[in-house]
Amino acid sequence: MGNDTSVFLLFEFSKIWEIKIMYLTLFLVLYLMTITGNFLIISAVALDSHLHTPMYFFLMNLALQDLGSVSVIIPKAVLNLVMNRRYISYSGCVAQVLLFVFFLGSDVGILTVMAYDRFVAICNPLKYDMIMSRKICTKMVGSVWITSFFNAVLNTMGTFANHFCSNTINQFYCEIPQLLKFACSDLYVVEIGYIIFTLTLIFGCFVFIIVTYVQIFSVVSKIPSVQGRKKAFSTCFPHLTVFSIFLFSSSFAYLRPQSDKPLHLDFIITIMYSIILPMLNPLIYSMRNKDIKVALARILGLRRFISMVNVIANRDKRKQ
């Protein structure tokens, strides 16, 4: 099967069963944590009318995309570990590349829209309802989904237009740089162009977010209340941190020269932007949010927890 490109051979974690069990446990724990966290966010926003606002609408879309991105790659890796195999069909590889790039691109778009939403809420609060109306928010999210799908189709076509001289992928899923490494035709240059264009757009989003938060910080710094400034800043830094990690880890994975041998660093970088960040997003953007906690408590019937949250909130208000 070494040169049979109707089937691709994925990364072989180990020949030792105990080490395979360790990887299997790692993937299952990360997947269950990601699924649980994002599903709770979607349920809270969908079922609680108090959360039917632009900010939480964007959070729900972010959670949907995070669910999609991990579900495209982890179940196949887990199945291969359980079945003691390492292959994926050609059509399965195409679908994996298309869907993963689509969800990854959508993540970037939603994070950018979320930054704009916070900018309007803090810097132009009197016009917030008019600027961020339901119709405009729906158009923003729709544009993100459509643009990301179009970008995913271009990258998938650019990748699989090539003829491959080998079928061994040094990664646990079909990653574009790993596929291009054994492309025999000159068409791989076209896909490299698509990758550079995509990363340029991502970097543009990063610059937009930075500029947006500079203006937000300028406004927040003028808030007389120390507690108010602290609260506003606490919602900004996690966003910047997550986007920065995503930008630099994905750029490193897609632009660095590819080695012919599997490297642990490649594996760690891929885990970082493809699994860890989708798992952390609910914690960073939602689980620290009092409204989300109250909504989840209400859905789960945790009335005592709601009362405790309200007591803490009233205490914070008195301090301000």
Q: For the residues 81-93, what does the mean pLDDT come to?
A: 89
3-state secondary structure of 162: coil
Among 53-67, 91-105, 175-189, 245-259, where is mean pLDDT lowest?
Answer: 245-259
Does residue 25 register a pLDDT over 50? yes
State the pLDDT at residue 102. Answer: 95
Quick one: CA dihedral 253, 155, 104, 25, positive or negative?
negative
Q: Residue 156 has what pLDDT?
A: 93
Encode pLDDT of 130-169 as tens digits: 999 999 999 999 999 999 999 999 999 988 988 888 888 8
Return the percentage of the chain with pLDDT > 90, whole number: 26
Domain 7-313 has CATH 2.70.180.20: no
How far apart are alpha carbons 109 and 87 in whole angstroms? 32
Q: What is the pLDDT of residue 1?
A: 45
Instruction: State the pLDDT confidence band at 6, using cuts at 50, 70 and 90.
Output: confident
Most confident residue range from 74-78, 120-124, 224-228, 298-302: 74-78
Query: Is pLDDT of 97 > 90?
Result: yes
Answer for the pair 110, 69: CB distance below 8 angstroms, yes or no: no
What is the distance between the alpha carbons of residues 88 and 97, in angstroms, rounded to a whole number? 12
DSSP letter for 185, please: S
Integer Cα distance of 167 and 3 in angstroms: 6
The predicted pLDDT at position 2 comes to: 47
Q: What average pLDDT does range 282-287 have in this prediction?
A: 70
Percentage of the chain modeled with pLDDT above 70: 82
E-strand spans in the chain?
Answer: 7-9, 87-89
Separation CA 278–CA 55 (nearest Å): 18
Residue 154 CB-half CA count within 13 A: 16
Beta pairing partners, 88: 8
pLDDT value at 278 more than 90:
no
Q: Write out the H or E segment, with its range, that includes residue 144.
A: helix 134-160
**Confidence grade of residue 87 (pLDDT, cut at 50, 70, 90):** confident
pLDDT tens digit sequence for 230-253? 666 666 666 777 777 777 777 776
Distance CA 181, CA 173 (A): 14
Question: How is residue 45 written in tokens?
Answer: 């926003």
What is the arithmetic mean of pLDDT over 66-83? 91
The answer to whether residue 3 scores a pLDDT higher than 80 is no
Closest Cα partner for 245 from 273, 266, 274? 273
Average confidence (pLDDT) over 243-269: 69
Query: Distance between alpha carbon 180 and the CA centroid of its chain, in Å?
Result: 23
Place of tokens 């970082």: 272
Element (H, E) at 1: none
- The two three-digit tokens of residue 233, written as one number: 């800043």
More confident residue, 57 or 195: 57
Structure confidence at residue 65 (pLDDT): 92
Ranges of each domain in the chain: 7-313
With a CB cutoff of 8 Å and minimum separation 6, the contacts of 96 are: 72, 73, 76, 88, 173, 174
**pLDDT for res 257:** 64
* pLDDT exceeds cutoff 90 at 308: no
